[in-house]
Amino acid sequence: MLLVDDILFFPVHGIMWVFKEIGEIAQKELAGEATSITEQLRILYMQLETGRITEAEFEAGEKVLLDRLDLIESRMDDESNTEESDDDEAEESDRQGGSPARR
């Protein structure tokens, strides 16, 4: 019976694998964007220290970059919280005797 179940649920498992891969790629892209914003902040601080920009220009640029960084970090936190709740549901399902689709 398990072989039949595996054959029947193969498309579902394949689709879930694809979505998991897409999620991982999106998370890596967000992390890369966060690194880019951090680098832009470093450059902005350097420009302020060398006198290339004024304090007002610095504050405006810093606010935009920090807002973007906060948004990215909140998205990453939301994704990690979603993954944790999915893992908790899977563990609960395993304790109750299998996946919800097999009940």
Greatest CA separation for the chain: 74
pTM of this prediction? 0.61
Helix, strand and coil content of the chain, in percent to the nearest 5, comes to: 90, 0, 10
User: Tens digit of pLDDT per residue, the chain (103 long)?
Assistant: 678 888 888 888 899 999 999 989 988 998 899 999 999 999 999 999 999 999 999 999 999 999 999 998 898 888 778 777 766 666 665 555 544 444 3
- Domain coordinates in residue numbering, the chain: 2-83
Buried b (16+ CB within 10 A) or exposed e, 25-51: eeeeebeeebeebeebbeebeeebeee
C-alpha 71: how far from its chain's center?
A: 11
What is the 8-class DSSP label of residue 98? S
